[in-house]
Amino acid sequence: MRLCRYQSENQIACGFYSEDTIIPISAAAELAGVLLDESEGLLPFLPGGAQRELILAVETQLKQSMDEELFPLSIQTDEVQLLVPVPEPSKLLLLAGNYSKHIEEGGGKAEERQKTFPYVFMKPPLTTLTHPGQPVKIPEVSPDYIDWELELGIVIGKSCKGVSEAEALDYVAGYTVINDISDRKFRPNPGRTLREKDTFFDWQHGKWHDTFCPMGPCVTPADDIPDPQTLKMKLSVNGNVEQDASTAEMIFPVAAIIEFISSFVQLEPGDVISTGTPSGVGASKNKFLKNGDVMKAEIDQIGVLTNPVA
């Protein structure tokens, strides 16, 4: 069962998520006679978490309960504010160029995996992470070339360093949807003296604007997605499908990404890794986001992340 964080009447809580309804974990635990602590968010309930076995017992009771018993527990999803599943990850890491067709649509050439390595960059999590349904804000400093990037997000469940690709999925807590919003032509100080590395830093800084990393609407536990390379992905803007792909198209699959990053960085529970975007970004079509647009980023077995643009 998918898990989410939400706010209702100024209270933040955790719940079992569906598109139509949310069942509060606290109410479900009471029904099952299980004592849970949700003060630390979702991580303890996901694979690798201290309360994973307890939440599985609650899930079992929910599945055995009659619909009439669950109905009083349910909250309409559209009556609450969904929140990012992991609000304060110690690291928010993202991949660039992990789908060959995306590299090619940008004018590049995708090398064989054996001849290269993942390009990993970071975003400041506290200011870029954006709740489902909340607006991506077009920056006044650079408003004209704002783009979407649908990506599969990995939530790390256990500390790891130097893990092999064969072991890597054992350290995943779950998966979520990320929209890596990008400013394609951010040019600080337009009258500047050109330096060799300006292009790279322009690209990197264009990832950092506030609100530029919507995430959610929920987390699917890793044991519900044994193979993360089989998920269909779709992103639409104002109902028009712009990206339509599959995680099977990744150059570096989830396990290889974790092996690479953990070879030189200690990964901690709650760290988030976004695995790159497929083809279909706006820059390849000269289409960019504007005030009033609505993006829907969808990954099978996880959900639909919806964000307006303002």
Query: When comparing pLDDT for 106 and 52, which is higher?
Result: 52
Return the pLDDT at 114.
Answer: 81
pLDDT at 115 over 90: no
Question: pLDDT tens digits for 209-247?
Answer: 999 999 999 999 999 999 999 999 999 999 999 999 999
Interval 240-258 mean pLDDT? 97
Structure confidence by residue, pLDDT tens digits, 185-203:
999 998 999 999 999 999 9
What local confidence, expressed as pLDDT, does residue 190 receive?
Answer: 86
Q: How far apart are CA 124 and CA 115, in angstroms?
A: 30
User: Which residues are CB-neighbours of 214 under 8 A, at least 6 positions away?
Assistant: 129, 130, 131, 132, 134, 136, 178, 179, 181, 295, 297, 305, 307
Least confident of 59-63, 144-148, 199-203, 244-248: 59-63
**One-letter amino acid for residue 178 of the chain:** I
pTM of the entire predicted model: 0.95
Per-residue model confidence as pLDDT tens digits over 9-49: 999 999 999 999 999 999 999 989 999 999 999 999 999 99
- Alpha-carbon torsion, ordered 92, 96, 99, 101, to 10 deg: 140
